[in-house]
Each structure stands twice: as C-alpha cells, then as structure tokens.
Amino acid sequence: MTLTKENVSKLIEPLAKITNRTGDLLLAHYESGEFKTYSKADESPVTSADIAASELLTKELSLLTPDVPVLSEEAIQPWRERKRWQTYWLVDPLDGTQEFVAGSGDFAVSIALIHGGKPVLGMIGWPVADRLYFAAAGYGAFKRSQGHQERIHVRKLEDPRYDPITIALSRRQPESRVLSRLGERRPIAIMHAGSCALKSALVAEGKADVFMRIGPTGEWDTGAAEILVQEAGGQLLDLHFQPLTYNQTADTGNPNFLVLGDPLVQWDQIFPAPVVDN
C-alpha cells in the first residue's frame, strides 16, 4: 500500500464505519451483560467481548486493505513475522476492559495505521457516548458526535508558567502514583476517566492538559492516541520525554508515558524525568 496524505485521509470514512460497527457489537455485549471474563497470563482481564471485537476488526480491516496486516492486542503475531512489516493496522478492540466489566461506560475502540514505525492515522470510538475521535498526519484532529463534527486542539493556557493545569487520572489507580511525581508545584485540578485512549482524547480536545500513565500498557494503547494528540498540537512521550516506538522489537509493551497539551508549558519541570522509570 502506497501511503500519501490523500489516500490515508480517504480511509477515514470507511474506518469510521468499521469503528462504529465494532462499537455496536461491544454495546450489545455491554448492555445485555452477556459476556464472559477471563484472566490473561499477566492477570489482566479479558472478556468474550474483547475477543469478538478483535475478530470483527481483523476481518473488516483485512477487507478494507487486503495487503496491510493487522496486529490486535488479542491476536499477536510472532516477531519473526511482524519484524518485516512496514505498514500495519494496530488495534485495541476494547480499550478499558476493567471499565467495561465495572459498567462505567468509559471504554473505547482504538485503531491506528502504523507506517515506518509511526502512527499516521488513528481513530478512537467511544460507543456509550456515540463519539468518534480521529486524526491523520497533516490532516488535523477531529471529534464527531451526534452528527456534528469539529476540529479539536489542545488547550492553550493564558500563562503557561503559572496557570492551573488539569490532570486526567484513572479511576483504577491511586492518585499518588502520579501526583507524587510532580516537580514544580502549581495549582492542579483532577479529571477522572477510564481507558487510556479516552484520557488521551481529553487532552487532545482541551478538556485536560496532561495525562500520565504509570503501569503496563501495550503499543495498541497509544497508537491512535499519539496521532490524535499530535495533530491536536500536543505530544505523547515517555517519562524521559522521548518518542515511543512501534514494532521495533519483539516486545509490544510500552514504557510509562505522558500525554502533553500546551507545548509552551515546561512539562519537564512539572514532571521531571525519574531516576528509575517504574
């Protein structure tokens, strides 16, 4: 597949249909409560809805772009096969499985197109809210909800040196895991949300200024979020303010990371790089 700005942007509408179809499948499981929950080898939860959504996405994306392989959290190909990939779909069929099981509604479908080790197209579907976030390289970042579409941007602070910042935090993790890492002290507000993708979207649309993730994640958690935030004017970086990588090693895990809004804020003073990243 030859990728240009034009032909990547042409994938947005068919990808929106696939994302919505997957969201409908998840909603059917969620609203009926007819799903089974299992534990993975790392003791993280997975449900029959995750698996059904993964199978649907793999099928639909393979029909959309037959020459582009699909890497799903629930179906990881061996490294000997993946290392040859220049372009591929990176999929989290149900981002926020704990929220899905708990009934909070804060779960998402997350799909990214990776090319040359970087996301060039991303879409995040929030089924309960009937909302899509999407972005493509050089195209911009957008939110589509209830028939209305708007371009989104990170929030620009009036005074990046002193204004209060809003931090997006998980409901499932102690606030101290993030707040204890604050360096430069300034007024903060807390906004709780569910999945990694949705907390990143909060930064992209300017409702939160930063999201720090401490704990295990996979590349599928950040692919779509990264291009969305970048096109909205922000960044997604590790805790040492270095870019994340995709499909560069056999390990599909991410380091701890930051989703950053206003680029004029001195984030390295607010969240100084840890001596040990844990």
Does 3.40.190.80 match the CATH number of domain 165-270?
yes
Taking residues 143-165, report their average pLDDT: 95
Does 3.30.540.10 match the CATH number of domain 5-151?
yes
Q: What is the pLDDT at residue 147?
A: 85
> Binning pLDDT at 50, 70 and 90, where does residue 258 land?
very high
Q: Does 3 score more than 80 pLDDT? A: no
> How far is it, in rounded angstroms, from Cα 57 to Cα 59?
5
> How far is it, in rounded angstroms, from Cα 264 to Cα 94?
33
> How far is it, in rounded angstroms, from Cα 166 to Cα 82?
38
CB neighbour list of residue 34: distance below 8 Å, 6 or more residues apart = none
> How far is it, in rounded angstroms, from Cα 137 to Cα 106?
26
Q: Does 275 score more than 80 pLDDT? A: no
Which part of the chain is CATH 3.30.540.10?
Answer: 5-151
Q: Which residues pair with 188 in a beta bridge?
A: 165
> How far is it, in rounded angstroms, from Cα 121 to Cα 11?
9
- Specify the pTM: 0.95
Which part of the chain is CATH 3.40.190.80?
Answer: 165-270
* Residue 157: φ, ψ to 5°: -75, 145
Among residues 146, 148, 151, 157, the alpha carbon closest in space to that of 135 is found at: 151
> Binning pLDDT at 50, 70 and 90, where does residue 114 land?
very high
> Binning pLDDT at 50, 70 and 90, where does residue 278 land?
low
pLDDT tens figures, 5-31: 778 889 999 999 999 999 999 999 999
Average pLDDT, the chain: 93
CB neighbour list of residue 211: distance below 8 Å, 6 or more residues apart = 167, 168, 169, 199, 200, 202, 203, 258, 259
